[in-house]
Amino acid sequence: MGWFRKSREQDLQRELRSHLELEAQEQQESGRSPDDAPSAARRAFGNTTLVMEDIRAMWTWSPIDRLTQDLRYALRTMRKNLGFSAAAILSLALGIGANTAIFSLIDALLLRSLPVRNPAELAQVMLVEQGRPSNGFGYPAVGALAAGTDIFAGLCGFSSASFNLTSRDGSERVSGAWVTGEYYQTLGLEALAGRLLVPRDDQPGAPPVAVLSYDYWQNRFAGNFGVLGQSIEIGGKPVRIVGISPRGFSGANVGDAANLTLPLAALAQLVPERTPQLEAGSQWLRVLARPRPGMSMAQAKARTAIVWPHMASVATTARMNAERRQVLLTSAIDLVPGGTGWSMLREQFRRPLLVLMGATGLVLLIACANFANLLLARGAARSKEIALRFAIGAGRGRIVRQLLTESLMLSSAGAALGIALAWPASRLLVLLLSSGRRDAVLLNLQPDANVLLFTSVVAVVTGILFGLVPAIRATATGPGAALKTNSGITPRTRSWFLPALVVSQVSLSLALLIGAGLFARTLRNLQQLDPGFRREGVLIVNFDARPAGYKEARLAALYRDLREQFANLPGVISASLSTNIPLSGAIWSEPVSVHGLPPSQESVHFNSVAPRFFETLGTPLVLGRDFSEGDGLGAAAVAIVNKNFVRRYLVEGHPLGQQISMPGTPHPMEIVGVVKDTVSWSLREPAPPFVYVPYFHNILRTSGSHPSKSTPEAQSPRRPGSYAMCCGRGFRRLRRKLSYRQ
492 has pLDDT over 80: no
Residues 389 and 509 in one domain: yes
Residues 522 and 545 in one domain: no
Cβ of 371: how many Cβ atoms within 10 Å? 25
Domain-terminating residue out of 505, 528, 551: 528
**Phi and psi angles of residue 189, each rounded to the nearest 5 degrees, phi first:** -105, 155
Residues 188 and 309 in one domain: yes
Q: With CA atoms as reference, report the closest residue to 124 among 445, 343, 315, 281.
A: 343
Q: Is residue 78 situated within a structural domain? A: no
193 has pLDDT over 70: yes
Q: With CA atoms as reference, report the closest residue to 162 among 178, 183, 138.
A: 178
CA 475, distance to chain mean position in Å, is 47
Q: Tell me the three-class secondary structure of 666-690, residue by residue.
A: CCCEEEEEEECCCCCCCCCCCCCCE
CA 415, distance to chain mean position in Å, is 22
**pLDDT (tens digit, 9 = 90+) per residue, 516-571?**
888 788 778 777 777 888 877 788 877 777 766 677 778 888 888 888 888 888 88
Give the dihedral sign, CA 336/341/347/353.
negative
Rounded distance, CA 243 to CA 225, Å? 9
Question: Of residues 66 and 361, which shows the higher confidence score?
Answer: 361
> What pLDDT does 739 receive?
44
Q: At 699, is the pLDDT very low, low, confident or very high (cuts 50, 70, 90)? A: low
Q: Which has the minimum average pLDDT: 85-99, 100-114, 370-384, 665-679?
A: 370-384
3-state secondary structure of 571: coil
Q: Is residue 88 situated within a structural domain? A: no
Question: Of residues 412 and 16, which shows the higher confidence score?
Answer: 412
587 has pLDDT over 80: no
3-state secondary structure of 40: helix
> What pLDDT does 263 receive?
96
Most confident of 157-166, 387-396, 496-505: 157-166
Cβ of 571: how many Cβ atoms within 10 Å? 15
Q: Tell me the three-class secondary structure of 244-296, residue by residue.
A: ECCCCCCCCECECCCCEEEEHHHHHHHCHHHHHHHCCCCCCEEEEEEECCCCC
Rounded distance, CA 325 to CA 340, Å? 31
Residues 520 and 568 in one domain: no
3-state secondary structure of 691: strand
Element housing 124 (H / E): strand 123-129
> What pLDDT does 208 receive?
95
591 has pLDDT over 70: yes
> What pLDDT does 489 receive?
47
Provide mean pLDDT across the span 583-600: 75
**pLDDT (tens digit, 9 = 90+) per residue, 161-187?**
988 887 776 778 899 999 999 999 999
Rounded distance, CA 146 to CA 670, Å? 46
Residues 186 and 55 in one domain: no
Domain residues for 19? 2-59
191 has pLDDT over 90: yes
Domain-terminating residue out of 528, 549, 584: 528
**pLDDT (tens digit, 9 = 90+) per residue, 400-445?**
888 888 899 999 999 999 999 998 998 888 888 777 666 778 888 8
**pLDDT (tens digit, 9 = 90+) per residue, 277-334?**
888 777 889 999 999 998 998 999 999 888 888 888 877 765 666 666 777 778 888 9
- Contacts of residue 120, defined as CB under 8 A and 6 or more positions apart, other chains included, come to 113, 337, 339
261 has pLDDT over 80: yes
Asked if 489 contacts 398 with a C-beta cutoff of 8 angstroms, the reply is no
| Domain total of the chain | 4
Residues 312 and 420 in one domain: no
Q: Is residue 533 situated within a structural domain? A: no
Residues 396 and 498 in one domain: yes
356 has pLDDT over 60: yes
Residues 331 and 359 in one domain: no
Domain-terminating residue out of 474, 494, 528: 528
Rounded distance, CA 616 to CA 563, Å? 12
198 has pLDDT over 90: yes
Asked if 386 contacts 373 with a C-beta cutoff of 8 angstroms, the reply is no
Cβ of 690: how many Cβ atoms within 10 Å? 21
Residues 219 and 367 in one domain: no
Q: At 5, is the pLDDT very low, low, confident or very high (cuts 50, 70, 90)? A: low
> What pLDDT does 429 receive?
86
Residues 502 and 615 in one domain: no
**pLDDT (tens digit, 9 = 90+) per residue, 649-680?**
887 778 898 888 876 667 788 999 999 988 87
Straight-line distance from the first to the last Cα atom of the chain, in angstroms, rounded to the nearest whole number: 68
Q: Is residue 30 situated within a structural domain? A: yes
Q: With CA atoms as reference, report the closest residue to 613 among 581, 571, 658, 659.
A: 581
23 has pLDDT over 50: yes
Q: Is residue 250 situated within a structural domain? A: yes
**pLDDT (tens digit, 9 = 90+) per residue, 709-739?**
333 333 333 344 566 666 765 444 444 444 4
> What pLDDT does 165 receive?
85
Asked if 244 contacts 193 with a C-beta cutoff of 8 angstroms, the reply is yes
266 has pLDDT over 90: yes
Q: At 585, is the pLDDT very low, low, confident or very high (cuts 50, 70, 90)? A: low
**pLDDT (tens digit, 9 = 90+) per residue, 131-141?**
788 888 889 88
The pTM score is 0.75
Average pLDDT, the chain: 81
Residues 400 and 549 in one domain: no
Q: Is residue 66 situated within a structural domain? A: no
Q: Is residue 224 situated within a structural domain? A: yes
Residues 604 and 463 in one domain: no
